[in-house]
A and B are shown apart, each in its own frame.
Chain A
Amino acid sequence: MAALPEGDSAPSDGRLPNVGNLKNKPFSLYVHVPYCSKRCGYCDFNTYTPSELERDDQIDRWLQSAIKETIFARKILGEELTVDTIFFGGGTPSLLEASVVKEFLNSVSKHFTLKKDLEITLEANPDTITQSKAEDWRKAGINRISLGMQSSAKNVLQVLDRTHNPANVLTSVEILKKAGFENFSLDLIYGTPGESLEDWSNTLKDAIAINPPHISAYSLVIEPGTKMGSQLSRGEIKAVSDDDAADKYQLAEVMLTENGYLWYEISNWAKENKECQHNLNYWKGNNWWGIGPGAHSHINGVRWWNKKLPKNWRESLDQDQSPALARENLTNEQIRNEEVMLLSRLKTGIDKADFDQKNVEKLIKDKLVNEVSGKLELTLEGRLLADVVFRQLTA
């Protein structure tokens, strides 16, 4: 499981330093549901299977603490903010009963103002979707599903330790459409050890055939401490070369573009106006509160992250204390670095005028960025070398 960043200690009362006006940017909620019936081999998120948790921290006890943190957030923020987007991530949020989702969203609406027609996304595992559950989610207010398809190659799913049958994806999409979900994303992973270029091409074809409004495609990163990390260090699986990953990225770009999907962030493509608003809020440096164990928050230059263990998170909230483990008060330079790092990942780009023009010229000459009406936009090569671009821009 990925370690949390290092930071300063967070005050137990959760009080923020003077962060200024909170209403000048959109505010989102991230909701972490840290439960999985089984952990996938590559997963380094903060997730737990039932046997790893005490009775009081099982999924059916999650709601109570989640509501407590919602109320705590309201208290700390000091005003009733308008919520721009909500995103249930995990873990496997689709394990939540629809009634739990509903009750949680009700509580949010009591303490915050919900923007009209706000985007509410729920990450779902194709195995956990049933018709009645989907309909109840929809009724509870969920209007976007992020479906973990990963791959349509059985051998790849097996290496990833995913339990679902590729055929379930199609069934799930049928169910979702029938339940009224027009907006959904298929989330893909490429670069799994053993995946051929043809496997990836087939996955893309299958995903495109489903015709989702949104597709994300991530290059697999095998983190130390995961099951695959151990397999890698034992030599049971072989790391995929960067060149292979680059080939697959370019294939994705070609196939997705041909089929009407436009990249709007390095790993995300969407049909017109179907971009994920919640994720865009992260990349634009907007504010959000992360509810749940290990969840991260950002409010006007202050970042913090919650205690990872559900028990520790719950106990803090039971004592009306902040569940935060540590926080960072960003300096202006750090804020600027984040801005460059995040905005440059977007198709909409970043203002050219704000940089040393010598650095910019070099990037243009190396064909890593283009200038589009005063903005710098990554080229296809540049998207694969975004970290190079960042270092060059901030040099």
Chain B
Amino acid sequence: MTIEINPAGTTPPELIRNFCVIAHIDHGKSTLADRMLQITGVVEERNMRAQYLDRMDIERERGITIKSQAVRLPWVGLDNKNYILNLIDTPGHVDFTYEVSRSLEACEGTILLVDAAQGIEAQTLANLYLALENDMTIIPVLNKIDLPAAQPDKYAAELANIVGCKPGDVLRVSAKTGQGVKELLDLVVVEVPAPVGDANAPARAMIFDSVYDTYRGVVTYVRVIDGKLTPRQKIKMMSSGATHELLDIGVISPEPKSTKGLGVGEVGYLITGVKDVRQSRVGDTITDFVKPATQALAGFRDPKPMVFAGLFPIDGSDYPLLRDALDKLQLNDAALVYEPESSVALGFGYRCGFLGLLHLEIVRERLDREFNLSLISTAPSVGYRILMEDGQEIDITNPSEFPSGKVSEIYEPVVKATILTPSEYIGPVMELAQERRGQMHNMDYLSEDRVELRYTLPLAEIVFDFFDQLKSKTRGYASFDYEPSGEQVADLVKVDILLHGDPVDAFSSIVHKDKAYAYGVEMTGRLKELIPRQQFEVPIQAAIGARIIARESIRAIRKDVLAKCYGGDISRKRKLLEKQKEGKKRMKMVGRVEVPQEAFVAALQTNADSASKDKK
């Protein structure tokens, strides 16, 4: 079925509906999008593939959307008018809160999609709050009603309670079978307000996504607020003042299609030939160069990295490859920042800043998968603001930058965290949050047996294994989400780990005073197990400044010889020694101590692995 529609650029705003879908991972957002593509006829049956809109392998495999996209769907409303529905996909994770907020900003309404077998999750709730702050129309929908485990009545009541509607208003669909999806599209036409804007005012369009494409350069996704954008038009980015020419402009349906322009309320893409997404930043306002708007749209900001980690190639000769790979990733990831770093233990690498833990994980995974780089990551840390007694203020993102002079106050970033848990686990969850220096703000029963807890937590306390701990204490039932919420003064110290008196930079950590001892004992103990015995005794110490807080020691090695070496042993023994010699070349020297890189990797992995799971 093909619907006669107004070509893009000429659609009257009253026939446009811009909406997005807020959902938790696995609650069926991509499947719902697939079904909408099919039902509206923009993708023919034979061309259909699962999760059509998810472009990266990582997205498809992990079932998350990293970058958003917009697709233009024609739809005949119940009033028989030909509407244009723009489905704007939102990134599915807290790390991308800012990007989510821009995607929401481009819409007038949102579908709140919840799995009828699982109920709402913390992250969905957080995004819902964002939508509510934006005064958007919310359409609550239960998905997967075809599942035997579905409990639509229970979760409809829960949703109604959260959104403030009647349980009967919650639409029930199965994105998988298509049941209820037509009704949902009709409801979008009825419920979501049409966009409003001044067609005669100077052009203003908001960038809600920006993607690097190898062939076309940066593809920028925009929502036009006022005026009109046309091909060959000279445009200006209002935050930077940079000017570009519109080489191509069009809509996605679901493949890119050039148009004669985009008018008020319309959503589409534009191409200017820039090669780096940082020149076309999410949240920025595009206007006409000749007749510019005076006022940029509100809400633009530079995404600030929150979590930092050193990335080092396991094979030192991969360093130039790592640099090239980061350069390439940055073309498509304006939030990724990095600078060269060198470490005694790990050699040359990059100190990278990320929006959050998932962002870190995604970057690491892409470096591994797309660039084939084996990397070791230091434990993730956060940035601190340090006030010195002499009044000087220092920002640090790496424990190695911790000043040696007299510190007056240290400020650490904090987050507002939302935890949803079955009520039977409230006790353990509260214990965990308290252990992590959390301050509870409120506790709400979403339904009889599900509770929402809101905390302020130091970001540094959740970059380690917080999520793992939460999951294990609640048998996997709790969900967790957070958003940055300023900073607080904290009693923090830097703990150094010394090997034979020499600090091992990769293990220095800024921790709360009460946890310094535990960190010291843990790290010295772990290194004792991992570092091979040397020809001399090697003390391993944890220290705050000059004060030793924990100590282990590796006794000197006394035996390193093969007892037997007869005729039949010689070849094997020689090969063994030659291999050991090769291994020795890869040893890192910390002062006089030889440490195999694997030991550092293993010591760090225990941290990093648990931290990297701390996502979703």
Contacts and interface: CB of A to CB of B under 8 A. Distances in A.
> Do A and B form a real pair?
yes
A162 interface: no
Contact of B581 (A249, A298, A328, A394): A394
Interface stretch (B376-384, B440-448, B553-561): B553-561
Interface in B524-583: 535, 555, 557-568, 570-575, 577-578, 580-581
B559 A249 contact: yes
A366 B562 contact: no
Contacts of B561: 266, 383-387
Contacts of B584: 391, 395
Nearest to A335: B574
Interface in A220-237: 221
A338 interface: yes
A384 B560 contact: yes
B581 A334 contact: no
Given A337-B577, A385-B557, A395-B584, A296 B563 contact: no
A30 B567 contact: yes
Given A242-B557, A385-B561, A328 B577 contact: no
A298 B563 contact: no
A338 B560 contact: no
A282 interface: yes
A338 B581 contact: no
A137 B28 CA distance: 85
Interface string A19-55: 0000000000010000000000000000000000000
Nearest to B565: A345
A384 B567 contact: no
Nearest to A6: B575
A338 B558 contact: no
Interface string A200-240: 00000000000000000011010000000000000000000
A267 B569 CA distance: 14
Given A338-B570, A338-B574, A341-B573, A221 B564 contact: yes
A384 B563 contact: no
A386 B573 CA distance: 12
Contacts of B577: 337, 341, 387, 390-391
B570 A296 contact: yes
B51 to A, nearest CB: 45
A387 B560 contact: yes
B563 to A, nearest CB: 4
Sort chain B's interface into a size bin. Answer: 20 to 34
Interface string A276-301: 00010011000010100011111000
A243 B558 contact: yes
A295 B578 contact: no
B592 to A, nearest CB: 11
B571 A5 contact: yes
Contact of A267 (B557, B564, B574): B564
Nearest to B535: A366
Contact of B567 (A7, A249, A296, A328): A296
B588 to A, nearest CB: 16
Given A245-B559, A366-B535, A387 B567 contact: no
B563 A219 contact: yes
Nearest to B583: A391
A100 interface: no
A244 to B, nearest CB: 9
A341 B581 CA distance: 13
Given A245-B559, A266-B561, A391 B581 contact: yes
A364 interface: no
A342 B560 contact: no
B486 to A, nearest CB: 54
A267 B563 contact: yes
A77 interface: no
Contacts of B581: 391, 394-395
Given A242-B557, A395-B581, A387 B562 contact: yes
Contacts of B578: 334, 337
A298 B568 CA distance: 10
Interface string B162-186: 0000000000000000000000000
A112 to B, nearest CB: 18
B553 to A, nearest CB: 14
A388 B560 contact: yes
Nearest to A334: B574
B535 A290 contact: no
A261 interface: no
Given A266-B563, A298-B567, 10 more contacts: A219-B559, A266-B565, A282-B570, A283-B565, A290-B567, A296-B567, A296-B571, A388-B535, A388-B560, A395-B584
Interface of A: 2, 5, 7, 30, 218-219, 221, 242-243, 245-246, 249, 266-267, 279, 282-283, 288, 290, 294-298, 303, 305, 328, 334, 337-338, 341-342, 345, 366, 368, 381, 383-388, 390-391, 394-395
9 contacts: A5-B571, A267-B564, A338-B570, A341-B570, A342-B570, A385-B558, A387-B560, A387-B562, A395-B584
Name the 7 nearest CB pairs between A and B, nearest first.
A246-B558, A386-B561, A242-B559, A5-B571, A219-B563, A296-B568, A218-B563
